């Protein structure tokens, strides 16, 4: 077996720890632990102790199911902590030799020199494209000749306090944070096809507390954003309007919910027992669907505004790929089609083997993606180390978009055999 890596996806509704081996064509799952998440709201920590307990339980479950002791992990960060900006950097190339890795690193370092407001730090620097002299859109400039290498990069920053709080929670569960990874990047890595990423696609991860999005064009990330609404808000609306306890509203949503009013019969009814009533009453399903549709349509309107703000509206022929737990709500695709006016599909992790069955659900796209993307970022860092560039704490940078043979050279750092 190759190197085992660990991802901890700290969501608003669940914490999911996965131990697995990232291989060229799949991720082999060796152990996992899923626990309800407490102490988190809209992707941000609201109670350190309570969240630490959820993380501990999830980690212990994953340790028991894998038989390994977990020492470090890649950890997800909600886009609600993040802001992003595009920035360019330049490096001069001596005329006597072709472009080398060191030139790319130099140009990337120049690109990352952006003014950072107080309390923010860089989480990821992602090259969008390279320009070599007047040749724009060079995919991989290494080995090519030119005088001036320019990198156009997408820089994602996060608030430092948010990261510190998350670090504290994970560390008090006995696990070192190897790096943080922005949610939609991890999900995108798992559910998007290379063709979608190449032609232009938007990834929308509709979770419990937030909807995280990322736009991929020419194979890489061009824009990231977040909407502070998720499945929780849908359930909350149902609870308010139908006067139901939250748990019952959640159950009603899962059993009878639909986002598309055209899909239900006008006379269809379902039974519920509202607060303060002794008897079960019948509710018209179309009323439930109207409640859901209003919220879901609002979510996609906000997503549309975000796409327009990005300026890449016309560059997404592959449309939108929905994932995250709430994307499973029937009718989501239809509302996405209608509001965004683009093709839509719902996706979940596919290229997984081993203990994979429980993870074949859109809720686990980020969780699975953490392992693969974390490893890619590690490989980048090892390359940097080879160039004597010091390791940076926190997020990661991407230079290549593939894992290839580099995996074999890594060693086991994340887990040790659990002798208990």
Q: How far is the CB of 46 from ligand ATP (least distance, A)?
A: 12
When CB distances are held under 5 to 8 angstroms depending on the partner's kind, the choice from Mg ion, ligand ATP, none that residue 254 binds is ligand ATP
**Per-residue burial over 384-398, b = 16 or more CB atoms within 10 Å of its CB, e = otherwise:** beeeebeeeebbbbb
328 and 208 Cβ atoms separated by less than 8 Å: no
31 and 19 Cβ atoms separated by less than 8 Å: yes
Of 56-64, 113-121, 152-160, 230-238, the segment contacting ligand ATP by CB under 6 A is 230-238
**Tokens 């999911």 belong to residue:** 16
Which member of 85, 116, 161, 254 binds ligand ATP (CB under 6 A)? 254
Q: How far is the CB of 129 from ligand ATP (least distance, A)?
A: 29
Of 220, 224, 193, 296, whose CA–CA distance to 77 is shortest? 224
Site for Mg ion in 354-373 (CB under 5 A): 366
Q: How long a stretch of residues is the chain?
A: 420
* Separation of alpha carbons 375 and 54, rounded Å: 25
Alpha-helical runs (H) found in 148-230: 160-172, 183-191, 194-199
Residue 141, interface with ligand ATP (CB under 6 A)?
no
When CB distances are held under 5 to 8 angstroms depending on the partner's kind, the choice from Mg ion, ligand ATP, none that residue 363 binds is ligand ATP
CA distances (Å), origin 379, targets 26, 101, 164, 169: 17, 13, 25, 26
Of 11-19, 173-181, 194-202, 388-396, the segment contacting Mg ion by CB under 5 A is 11-19
58 and 70 Cβ atoms separated by less than 8 Å: no
The helix or strand, by DSSP H or E, that contains position 246, with its residue range, turns out to be helix 246-256
Size of residue set near ligand ATP by CB under 6 A? 25
Site for ligand ATP in 73-102 (CB under 6 A): 78
Q: How far is the CB of 48 from Mg ion (least distance, A)?
A: 20
Tokens of 399: 């230079």
Tokens of 334: 């239809």
Which of 11, 395 has the CB closer to ligand ATP? 11
Which member of 11, 39, 231, 362 binds Mg ion (CB under 5 A)? 11
Residue 331, interface with Mg ion (CB under 5 A)?
no
Q: How far is the CB of 319 from ligand ATP (least distance, A)?
A: 20
* Separation of alpha carbons 131 and 150, rounded Å: 5
Site for Mg ion in 179-208 (CB under 5 A): 207
Which of 153, 210 has the CB closer to ligand ATP? 210
244 and 272 Cβ atoms separated by less than 8 Å: yes
Q: How far is the CB of 48 from ligand ATP (least distance, A)?
A: 17
When CB distances are held under 5 to 8 angstroms depending on the partner's kind, the choice from ligand ATP, Mg ion, none that residue 231 binds is ligand ATP
Q: DSSP string covering 309-337, please?
A: HHT-GGG-TT-EEEESGGGGSTTHHHHHH
Of 26-34, 107-115, 213-221, 224-232, the segment contacting ligand ATP by CB under 6 A is 224-232
Fill in the DSSP letter of residue 221: E
Which member of 5, 7, 13, 130 binds ligand ATP (CB under 6 A)? 13
Which member of 20, 31, 39, 43 binds ligand ATP (CB under 6 A)? 43
Residues in touch with Mg ion (CB under 5 A): 11, 207, 366
Residues in touch with ligand ATP (CB under 6 A): 11-14, 37, 43, 78, 207-210, 230-232, 235, 250, 253-254, 257, 324-326, 328-329, 363
């Amino acid at each position: 077996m190759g190197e085992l890596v660990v991802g901890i996806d700290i969501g608003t509704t669940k914490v999911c720890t996965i131990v697995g081996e990232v291989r060229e064509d799949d991720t082999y799952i060796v152990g996992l632990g899923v626990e309800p998440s407490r102490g988190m709201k809209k992707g941000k920590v609201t109670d350190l102790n309570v969240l630490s307990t959820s993380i501990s339980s999830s980690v212990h479950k994953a340790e028991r199911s894998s038989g390994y002791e977990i020492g470090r992990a890649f950890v997800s960060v909600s886009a609600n902590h993040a802001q992003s900006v595009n920035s360019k950097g330049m490096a001069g190339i001596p005329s006597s030799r072709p472009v080398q890795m060191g030139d790319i690193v130099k140009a990337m370092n120049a690109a990352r020199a952006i003014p950072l407001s107080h309390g923010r730090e860089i989480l990821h620097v992602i090259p969008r494209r390279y320009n070599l002299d007047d040749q724009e859109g060079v995919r991989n400039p290494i080995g090519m000749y030119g005088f001036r290498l320019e990198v156009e990069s997408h820089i994602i920053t996060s608030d430092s306090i948010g990261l510190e709080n998350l670090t504290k929670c994970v560390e008090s569960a006995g696990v070192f944070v190897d790096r943080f990874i922005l949610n939609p990047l991890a999900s995108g890595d798992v559910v998007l096809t290379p063709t979608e990423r190449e032609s232009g696609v938007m990834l929308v991860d509709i979770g419990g507390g937030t909807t995280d999005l990322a736009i991929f064009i020419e194979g890489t990330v061009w824009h990231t954003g977040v909407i502070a609404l998720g499945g929780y808000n849908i359930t909350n609306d149902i609870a308010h309007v139908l006067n139901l306890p939250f748990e019952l509203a959640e159950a009603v949503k899962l059993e009878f919910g639909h986002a598309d009013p055209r899909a239900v019969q006008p006379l269809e009814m379902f039974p519920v027992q509202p607060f303060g009533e002794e008897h079960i009453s019948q509710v018209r399903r179309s009323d439930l669907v109207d409640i859901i549709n209003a919220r879901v349509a609002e979510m996609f309107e906000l997503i549309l505004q975000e796409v327009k703000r990005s300026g890449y509206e016309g560059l997404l022929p592959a449309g939108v790929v929905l994932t995250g737990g709430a994307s499973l709500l029937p009718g989501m695709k239809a509302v996405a089609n209608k509001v965004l006016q683009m093709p839509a599909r719902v996706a979940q992790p596919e290229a997984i083997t081993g203990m994979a069955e429980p993870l074949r659900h859109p809720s686990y796209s980020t969780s699975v993606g953490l392992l693969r993307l974390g490893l890619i970022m590690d490989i980048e860092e090892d390359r940097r180390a080879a160039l004597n560039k010091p390791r940076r704490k926190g997020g990661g940078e991407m230079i290549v978009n593939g894992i290839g043979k580099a995996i074999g050279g890594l060693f086991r750092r994340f887990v040790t055999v659990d002798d208990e």
